Amino acid sequence: MKESRRNLFVVIIILILSVVAGLFAYGQFNFLPNWFKVPYRLGLDLSGGTRLIYEADLSQVEQKDRDSAMNGLRDVIERRVNLFGVSEPRVEVVKVGDSYRLNVELAGVKDIAQAIKMIGETPYLEFREERPKEETEKILEEQKKNNPEYAFVDPYFVPSQPLLTGKYLKKAQLDFNPRTYEPMVSLEFNDEGTKIFAELTKKNVGKILAIYLDGQPISLPVVQEEITQGKAQITGKFTAEEAKKLVENLNAGALPVPIKLISQQSVGATQGEFFLNLSIKAGIIGLIAIIVFMIVMYGLLGVCASLALIIYTILNLVIYKLIPVTLSLSGIAGFILSIGMAVDANILIFERYKEEIKKGIEKKRALLEGFRRAWPSIRDSNISTIITCLVLYNFTSSMIKGFALNLLIGVLISMFSAITLTRSFLRAFIK
């Protein structure tokens, strides 16, 4: 008696937790706290958007500097893409054999032609001088008044006279101060740049000579003295990591890496939504079909398994939200397969249970035996699926990765839901 009450208690706890998890997975009700309403991360095929693959031409860059050059390029492009107000843009460097690629994913960009044009532009590095104080104040005042003429004017800096740009910068590199071992960034100008730089430093001793990339400030060093040799150091309280980043940005402007668009995929937003709705519909119909089937085949056992299956689905959705997993059509296929495998675990157990009952063993023992004996099959078949997923995840490209990841998550959760959950339900309901 005491045991059965405990079992019932466990079931109630599970159900309450599942309802909470279900609310989190659904996340559409108004009364829910905001963090329940995190949206799912949808792949481009479901949300609509564009995937661009660029090939970078690094023939002008030395072998050892290539990784750094690509990082600089990525930063530049990421900044530009951010200007588009894209939600979670993804820009990543992929090395394939000897060539470097840049994958850019833009969800929900309306004007793709414009985006492609902007991404393809050469990064623009320039040096800017401080404005006189009065000018700064005036601009700030006008901006406060929302004077449209001043909306995009930089109140603090103005392009240097004469103009010093990325094409005069030979290269930038990361160095360490020989005495203090602090990281610093060394700049080297070409002949013409040396002259301009000398003039600018002479004119701006004690003032800031700002460095801008694509119209954004990346460094604001103060000129200490006139520099005529065309070599300068930027020192300051930065970490090696920050200094490295600055070097990458400077080089992106000094040695622009030409990129070529080699592949593009665009899915219209309406079409993405259409796929998403169809997939949800097919998923719900499939789930209902399985539940009906299980209940017809196994009665009360089937009810318990169906309950576990619903919780299983909710748990998967919760994980998708938490990690977050990017959902795509192929990922949904992986999830559907994992439902099949989760159900299979239950069918294995129940069939074993029926066998034991036939032998004349009483229900509770039969159930225990059913679980015990079905376990090796469930374990072995699931482990081989896990091996498959791991290989696929590590050795293939994005689409199949999505499939593998969802299948992997599904199989791992199913080992828990189809066994632990179903068992808790059966313990409480089978007398």
Partner 1 sequence: MIDFIKYRKIAYVISGILVLTAWVSLIIFGLKPGMDFIGGSVLELKLNNTQVDPKVIEEIYKNYGYQSVLVTPSGDNGLTIRSTDVSEENHQAIIAAIKEKYNNVEEMRFESFGPVIGKELRNKSITAIILVILGIILYLTWAFRQVSRPVASWRYGVTAILALIHDISIPTGLFALLGKFKGVEIDSNFIVALLTILGFSVHDTIVVFDRIREKLRTHPGLTFAQAINESINETLRRSILTSLTLMIVLVALLIFGPAHLFYFSLTLLIGTFFGTYSSIFIASPLLYDWHQFLQKRKNKR
The answer to whether 18 and 311 are in contact (CB under 8 A) is yes
**Residue 271 interacts with partner 1 (CB under 8 A): yes or no:** yes
CA distance 88 to 106: 8
Respond yes or no on whether the N-terminal peptide bond of residue 162 is cis (omega within 30° of 0). yes
Query: Least separation, in Å, of the C-beta of 167 and partner 1?
Result: 25
Query: Least separation, in Å, of the C-beta of 90 and partner 1?
Result: 17
- For the record, the structure tokens of 370 come out as 């059913």
**Residue 278 interacts with partner 1 (CB under 8 A): yes or no:** yes
CA distance 225 to 199: 11
CA distance 84 to 73: 17
Query: Least separation, in Å, of the C-beta of 280 and partner 1?
Result: 10
Near partner 1 by CB under 8 A, which window of 22-30, 66-74, 183-191, 293-301? Answer: 293-301
Return the DSSP state at 258.
Answer: P
Residues 6+ apart with CB under 8 A from 215: 124
Query: Residue 135 or residue 355: which is nearer to partner 1 going by CB?
Result: 355
Q: Is 154 left (phi over 0), alpha (psi -120 to 50) or beta?
A: beta
Query: Least separation, in Å, of the C-beta of 62 and partner 1?
Result: 24
Query: Least separation, in Å, of the C-beta of 272 and partner 1?
Result: 9
**Residue 83 interacts with partner 1 (CB under 8 A): yes or no:** no
Sole binder of partner 1 in the list 12, 285, 322, 323 (CB under 8 A): 285
Query: Least separation, in Å, of the C-beta of 34 and partner 1?
Result: 32
**Residue 103 interacts with partner 1 (CB under 8 A): yes or no:** no
Sole binder of partner 1 in the list 281, 363, 364, 365 (CB under 8 A): 281
Binding mask 371-410 for partner 1 (x = CB under 8 A): --x--xx--xxxxxx-xxx-xx--xxx-xx--xx--x---
The answer to whether 335 and 410 are in contact (CB under 8 A) is yes
Sole binder of partner 1 in the list 275, 312, 353, 425 (CB under 8 A): 275
- For the record, the structure tokens of 112 come out as 């793709």
- For the record, the structure tokens of 305 come out as 């398994």
Which helix or strand (DSSP H or E) is residue 185 part of?
Answer: strand 183-189
Distances from the Cα of 22 to the Cαs of 17, 202, 310, 430, in angstroms? 8, 67, 10, 26
What is the chain's length? Answer: 431
Q: Which residues bind partner 1 (CB under 8 A)?
A: 53, 55, 96, 113, 116, 261-268, 270-271, 274-275, 278-279, 281-282, 285-286, 289-290, 293-294, 297, 329-330, 333-334, 336-337, 339-341, 343-344, 347-348, 351, 355, 373, 376-377, 380-385, 387-389, 391-392, 395-397, 399-400, 403-404, 407
